[in-house]
Amino acid sequence: MATVPAQITWTDTTVYHDTHLNANIRDALAFILTPPTAVLRQTVAQTVTDSTYTAILFDTEDRDYDDGVTGGHSTTTNTSRYTAQTAGYYWASGAVTWDNNATGLRSTRWLVNGTTVP
């Protein structure tokens, strides 16, 4: 799991050690250059009805990275979920393609911890 680096306040009397430099410069840059990221998609058609919301099942991970360890998505368990491994703000976006016909209602929604996001 990635850790957002906590920076120290430098003073002119600070004795600089490799541990300070690694934690405050190297690790901070590594986090900025490779933040936790996931790109998920579905490669097979899924049946969705107009009577209830249906979770989209993601069977492919183009990227699921969190500091070189297992990210927040599984392709075998709860494939419709992404569970953030690192505290912070996340940006989510997506697209859904519907069959072209004149019956039924089509809509989408996002949920966070089971609650609809306005």
pLDDT digits (tens, 9 = 90+) for 83-115: 888 888 888 898 888 878 777 778 888 888 888
55 Cβ contact partners less than 8 Å away, ≥ 6 residues apart: 80
**What pLDDT score was predicted for residue 5?**
67
How far is it, in rounded angstroms, from Cα 84 to Cα 66? 9
Residue type at 17? Answer: H
113-116-118 Cα angle (round to 5): 130
First to last CA, the chain: 29
pLDDT band at residue 39, thresholds of 50, 70 and 90?
Answer: very high
